[in-house]
Amino acid sequence: MSDSQSSPRALATHRVVHRYGQVLALDGASIAVDAARALALVGESGSGKTTLLRCFNRMVDPDAGTVEVGGTDVRAQPAIVLRRHLGYVPQDGGLLPHWRVLRNVALVPKLLRMHEPETAAAEALRMVGLSADTFGERYPHELSGGQRQRVALARALAARPGVILLDEPFGALDAITRAELHEVFKDVRRELAMTMLLVTHDLAEAAYLADEIAVMRAGRVEQQGTMVDLHTAPATSYVATLIARAMATSAHLVST
Amino acid sequence: MIREMWSRTTLSLLPAFILVSLATGLHAQTSNTAAPTPGVAQVQPDRYPVVVASKPFGESYLLCEMFAQLLEAHGIAVTRRPGLGATEVAFSALKQNEIDVYPEYTGTGLIAILHDSVADSLARDPRAVYKTVARDFMTRYGVRWLPPLGFQNTYAIAVRRATAERYHLRTLSDLAREGSHLTAGFTPDFIGRSDGLPGLARVYGIHLRNIRPLAPAVKYRALADGAVDVADGYSTDGLLARYDLVTLVDDRHFFPPYEAAALISPRLVRDRPDAVAVLTLLSGRLDEARMRQLNQRVEVAGEDVHQVAADALTTLGLINANAPTAKSLASDAHASFWRYMWDRRATIAALTLRHLFLVVVGLGAAILVAIPLGLALERARNAAEPVIRVLGVIQTVPSIAMLAFMIPLFGIGTVPALVALWLYALYPIARNTYTGVRDADPGAIEAAEALGTTAIQRLLWVRLPLAAPVIMAGVRTAAVVTVGAATLAAFIGAGGLGEPIVAGLALADTRMILSGALPAALLALMVDGVLALVERTVTPVAG
C-alpha cells in the first residue's frame, strides 16, 4: 500500500475481484477495519458481501487483489492455521448436529491444542448468556433457534481469536429473539476487544451493532464510513437512497 | 434321400475326422510313454475323493446318487455336489477338474457345448451323435464320455390331456396347426437353445399365441393348473405321469438323440482308472422304462433319492442289498411338515450355519471395500457416478450368469460363491456411503471447514457419523439381498440353504423347498434385526 500506516489494519482488502464461473461476484472491493472495531457489510442479496467476508478465512480465494489479516497476506500461512485464528458464525449456526453443545463450542480450542478446551468452552457459553451446566450436555436440536445462534457465537469466541467473522448471524431469527441476540453481541464486545466483520442486509442492525458500515453493490464497496458519514455525505446516490429509506422506516416506527 | 444326406455329412466330416484321429493317436502315445514310469506316477495323484455332481433336475440327482453309491460300494471315497447350476456351470466345473463326473446327454453335449448345428442325418442316429461328442470332447477338453447308460431322455413337448383332446393334438405338426390358440411356458434354456424353441419354430413353423419363460420347477404345475397350455420337458420325467400330461410326437424328428451317459473329468481319466472302471459298470444297464419308473418314485411318490438309487443298484446287482445306505434318512411322504423339519433339524442347522458363513464373509468383505470406496468417491466426485454405475451394472447380472462367469476364474464351491456375493453387495453399500457422505448436513460441514478442521477430520468427525444411518441402510439392503442370493450358491456347489431349495425344486418336493426357504427367510429377518441394533448404536443423535 502506498500510504504508510503506523499500525497495520486488523482486516483489509484491496481491489478484490472474484468470479463464480461467468458471474462477477466481487469487482474491485476494498475495505479496512482497525483492530477491535466492528464493520458491518450491508447490501442487497448478490451484492458480494458474503463473498468478501469469506475471502478473509479463505473459504474464497479471490482471482485478483489482496486480502490481509493483521497486515499479513492471508496466503502467507496454510488456510487451516489461518482459520483456527478467525472466529466464524454462519447464518444457520452450522453446529455439528451429533455433538453436544460443550463439544461443539470446544472445537477450535481442541484444534489449537489448548490446555483445557472444555473450560474455555464453558467460559464462552457464559459470555453468551448460557450456563454450561444447563446447556453443555444438550444436542443442538434440543435448543431454540436463538440458543443455537448463541452457541454458534460461543464457538467462535471460545479460542479468543482476534477477529470474528459473522455471516448474517441473526438473519433467520424472529424480531424479539434477534433483539436479545443484539444485546448478547454488545455484551460480548464490551467484554472482549475483538475485531468484528458483520454481514447483514439490515441497515438498522448494522448501525446498532457496528462502528462503521460498508455499503456494497454489484461487487463493489460504494462507501465505508460511520452512519453519520453515510447520512451526511453519501458518496453515491445509491447510498443516499438506502439511508433515506432506512430513515423513513424508523421514523414511521417512532411516530406510531 | 437319407443316404444322400448321410454321405454328404460324412464327406464334410472326413477331414475333421482324420485330424481328430491323428490327435487322439498322439494323445494315446503320450499316455503310453507316461505309463511305464514306475510307481510314483500311479500312486502320486493320491486317492482324492471322486467329486460326483449333477444338474438341478430330478433324474440328474438320481443318477448322481447312483454314481456315488456305486463308487462307495467299491471302496472309493466320494464327495457329492448335486444340483449344479445348469449345463454351462456343470461342464465348466468338469473340464477344470472341479468335479469328476456328472450325468450328461449326448444331444446336449453336441448342441449346447460343442455348438454343432444338428446335421439332419445325425438327428436320427444316436450312435453317430455319441461318436461325435466322444471324439470331440476328448480332443477339445480331455473329457471322456463313458458308454451310454442305455436310455434316451429327449425333449418332450407336453400338453394337458383335455387340451390334446379338444384340439386333436397328437404330433408337433398338430401343434403347429393349432398354435395360435395356445400359450406356452418354456424354460429359458429351451427358449434360447438352438435345439430348443428356435429350431422347433423353424422346422415345424410353430407360432404360439404367447410364450412365457418359466423355471423348470414350476412349469409342470403351471401347465397342470391351466396357466399355460404347452410346456417343454424331458421324455423320462416322472412329473409327466404325475400330472397326466400328453407328450406330442416329434413326427419330423427334429430333436437329436439325448442318450444319457457319465461325463468324466480329465484328471479322473488320467489318474483314476479304478473309478472310471466302476462307473462303466452302469453303461447299458438303464433302459427307458426303468428310468421313467425310478424318476416317478422320486418325483411323483416323493421317495428319498438315496433310497431309490440304492434300490436301483441292488436290483441291477451292482451293490449288495445289505450295504448300509448311510445317507438315507427315510422320509415318510405323509409325515407332517413340522415333523419333517424336526427330523432334519441337524442338517438344517448345519446348512443355516453354512449359509450364515457365506453371508457374513461376503457381506463383511463388501463392507470393507465399499465404504472406503464410497468415501473415496466423495473426494473424487467426477469419478463417482461412473464407478457406481459400473457396480450397478454388476448388480444387474443375473445370479446364475454371474456364478457361471466365476467358474473359469475360481472354479466351483465356496470361493466363487463368496466373490459373487461380494460383488452383489458392493453396490448398495457404496451408493449409500457416497450419497450419505456427500449430502451430510452441508451447513455443519461448511462451518467445520471455516473453523479450521482438516478434510480428514471433517470426514471422521462430521461426514461419516452424519452419513451413518444412510450407510447402515445400504448395509441392511445388501445383507437381505445377500441372504437371498446365497441360496443360489448351491448351484455352484457352495452349499447353504439353497441346497434343499434347489433339490426340492428339481424333485418337486415342496417340503424340501420350504426346509431351505423358511430358515433363509428367518435368517434374513435375523440379520436385518441385528443390523438394526448396530444402526441404533452408530446413529449419532437419537432425535
Task: Give the model's pLDDT for residue A39.
Answer: 97
Percent over 70 (pLDDT), chain A: 95
User: Per-residue pLDDT tens for B134-163?
Assistant: 999 999 999 999 999 999 988 889 999 999
Residue type, A252: H
Residue A15 has phi, psi (to 5 degrees) of: 50, 55
- List residues in chain A touching B: CB distance below 8 A: 54, 57, 59, 80-84, 88, 90, 92-98, 107-108, 111, 139, 141-142, 152, 155-156
Cβ <8 Å between A92 and B453: no
Banded pLDDT at B13 (limits 50, 70, 90): very low
Answer for the pair B109, B137: CB distance below 8 angstroms, yes or no.
yes
B451 vs A92: CB contact, 8 Å cut-off? Answer: no
The residues of chain B that CATH labels 3.40.190.10 are 48-152+257-315
Long-range contacts of B267-272 (CB under 8 A, 24+ apart): B267/B45, B267/B97, B267/B100, B268/B50, B268/B97, B268/B100, B268/B101, B269/B142, B269/B143, B269/B144, B270/B45, B270/B142, B271/B42, B271/B44, B271/B45, B272/B45, B272/B50, B272/B100
CB contacts, 8 Å: A80 with chain B: 452-454
B455: closest chain A residue by CA: A80
Among A15-24, A96-105, B40-49, B198-207, name the one with the lowest average pLDDT.
Answer: B40-49
- Closest by CA to A227, choosing from A209, A245, A212, is A212
- In chain A, residues with a C-beta closer than 8 Å to the C-beta of B447 are 88, 90, 93-96, 152
- CA distances, B25 to each of A164, B140, B266, B267, B542 (Å): 92, 14, 17, 19, 77
* Pairing state between β B50-53 and B78-81: parallel
Question: For residue A212, is pLDDT > 70?
Answer: yes
Strand order in the sheet with B230-234: B210-213, B183-186, B230-234, B155-160, B245-247
Please check the confidence at residue B38 and state whether its pLDDT lies above 50: no
Instruction: Provide the angle, in degrees to the nearest 10, between the axes of the packed helices B381-396 and B414-439.
Output: 140
What pLDDT sits at residue B46? Answer: 64
Instruction: Scan for cell 464373509, then name that residue.
Output: B361
* Sequential DSSP letters for A144-161: -HHHHHHHHHHHHHTT--
pLDDT, tens digit (0-9, with 9 covering 90-100), for B244-255: 889 998 888 888
Number of alpha carbons in the 13 Å side-chain half-sphere of residue B400: 15
- With vertex at residue A165, the alpha carbon angle to CA A159 and CA A171, rounded to the nearest 5 degrees, is 120
CB A37 within 8 A of CB A22: no
Please report the ipTM that was assigned to this predicted complex.
0.91
Evaluate if residue B122 carries a pLDDT over 80.
Answer: no
Q: What is the DSSP letter of B179?
A: G
Kindly give the residue spans of alpha helices, DSSP state H, lying in B228-380: 238-242, 266-271, 273-280, 288-299, 305-315, 337-343, 345-379
How remote is the C-alpha of A144 from its chain's centroid?
Answer: 21
DSSP-based three-state secondary structure for B451: coil
Give the residue range(s) of CATH 3.40.190.120 domains in chain B.
155-247
DSSP per residue over A6-59, as a string?
Answer: SS--SEEEEEEEEEETTEEEEEEEEEEE-TT-EEEEE--TTSSHHHHHHHHTTS
C-alpha cell at B288: 427307458
Give me Rg for the CA atoms of chain B.
Answer: 27
Mean pLDDT (whole number) for A180-200 = 94
Provide the pLDDT for residue B397.
86
Q: Are strands B183-186 and B230-234 parallel, antiparallel or unpaired?
A: parallel
Using the predicted structure, report yes or no on whether residue A55 has a pLDDT greater than 50: yes
The three-state secondary structure class of B334 is: coil
Q: To 5 degrees, how large is the angle CA B65–CA B69–CA B75?
A: 150
- Cβ <8 Å between B451 and A155: yes
Mean pLDDT of chain B: 83
Q: How do beta strands B210-213 and B183-186 pair?
A: parallel
Burial B519-539 (b: 16+ CB within 10 A, else e): bbeebbeebeeebeeebeeee
As beta bridge partners, residue A23 has A20
Angle at A223 between CA A220 and CA A224, to 5 degrees: 110
Distance CA B495, CA B475 (A): 24
- Strands (DSSP E) contained in B97-141 are 101-105
Which residues of chain B have a CB within 8 Å of the CB of A121? none
Residue in B446, B451, B454, B470 to test binding to A, most A beta-carbons within 10 Å: B451
CB atoms within 10 A of CB B43: 10
Q: pLDDT-derived band of residue B117, with 50, 70 and 90 as boundaries?
A: low
Set of chain B residues whose Cβ sits within 8 Å of the Cβ of A98: 465-466, 540-541
Is residue B394 predicted with pLDDT exceeding 80? yes
Q: Which residues pair with A67 in a beta bridge?
A: A13
Q: CATH topology for B155-247?
A: D-Maltodextrin-Binding Protein; domain 2 (3.40.190)
pLDDT score at B202:
87
What's the CA gap between B15 and B49, in Å, rounded? 40
Check: CATH 1.10.3720.10 for B343-538? yes
The residue type of B441 is: D
Question: How many other C-beta atoms lie within 10 A of the C-beta of residue B77?
Answer: 11
Other C-beta atoms lying within 10 Å of the C-beta of residue B170: 13
**Taking CB atoms and an 8 Å limit, are A111 and B466 in contact across chains?**
no
For residue B298, give the amino acid letter.
V
Would you say residue A65 has pLDDT above 70?
A: yes
Burial of A256 (C-beta count, 10 Å sphere; 0-12/13-18/19+): exposed
The span from the CA of A125 to the CA of A153, in Å, is 9
Which CATH number is A11-85+162-255's, of 3.30.70.2860, 3.40.640.10, 3.40.50.300, 3.40.50.880?
Answer: 3.40.50.300
Q: What is the CA radius of gyration of chain A?
A: 18
For the domain made up of B48-152+257-315, the CATH class stated in words is alpha beta
Q: Which of B33-47, B73-87, B331-345, B445-459 has the lowest mean pLDDT?
A: B33-47
- List, in order, residues 6 or more apart from B340 with CB less than 8 Å away: B331, B511, B515
What confidence tier does B329 reach under pLDDT thresholds 50, 70, 90? very low
Query: Would you list the DSSP string of B473-504?
Result: HHHHHHHHHHHHHHGGGGGGT--STHHHHHHH
Query: Residue A153's pLDDT band (boundaries 50, 70, 90)?
Result: very high
pLDDT tens-digit profile of A172-189?
Answer: 889 999 999 999 999 999
CB contact under 8 A, A97 and B444: yes
Residues 6+ apart with CB under 8 A from B362: B417, B418, B420, B421, B422, B424, B425, B482, B486
Q: What strands, in cross-sheet order, belong to the sheet with A64-69?
A: A23-33, A11-20, A64-69, A72-73
Please give the Cα distance from B334 to B301 (Å, whole number). 10
Q: Quick one: average pLDDT of A207-217?
A: 95
For residues B464 and B494, the answer to whether their CB atoms sit within 8 Å is: no
- Looking up cell 452419513 gives B467
- N-terminal to C-terminal alpha carbon distance within chain B: 85
Contacting residues of B for A97, CB less than 8 Å apart: 441, 444, 466, 540-541
Closest CA to B145 of B268, B306, B20, B4: B268
Residues for chain A: how many in total? 256
In whole angstroms, give the CA distance from residue B500 to residue B517.
Answer: 8
Cα gap A166→B50, rounded to integer Å: 78
User: What are the residues of chain B with a beta carbon less than 8 Å away from any beta carbon of chain A?
Assistant: 441, 443-444, 446-454, 457, 461-462, 465-466, 540-541, 543
A4 pLDDT band (50/70/90 cuts)? very low
User: Which stretch of DSSP H or E encloses residue A64?
Assistant: strand A64-69
* Pairing state between β A11-20 and A23-33: antiparallel
Tell me the nearest-neighbour CA distance from A241 into chain B, angstroms. Answer: 34
Work out the minimum CA distance from B533 to partner chain A, whole angstroms: 18
DSSP one-letter string for B452-465: T--HHHIIIIIIHH
Three-state secondary structure call for residue B437: helix
- Whole-angstrom distance, CA of residue B223 vs CA of residue B232: 10
Residues 6+ apart with CB under 8 A from B350: none
**For the residues B393-417, what does the mean pLDDT come to?**
82
Cα dihedral value B21, B26, B30, B35, nearest 10: 40
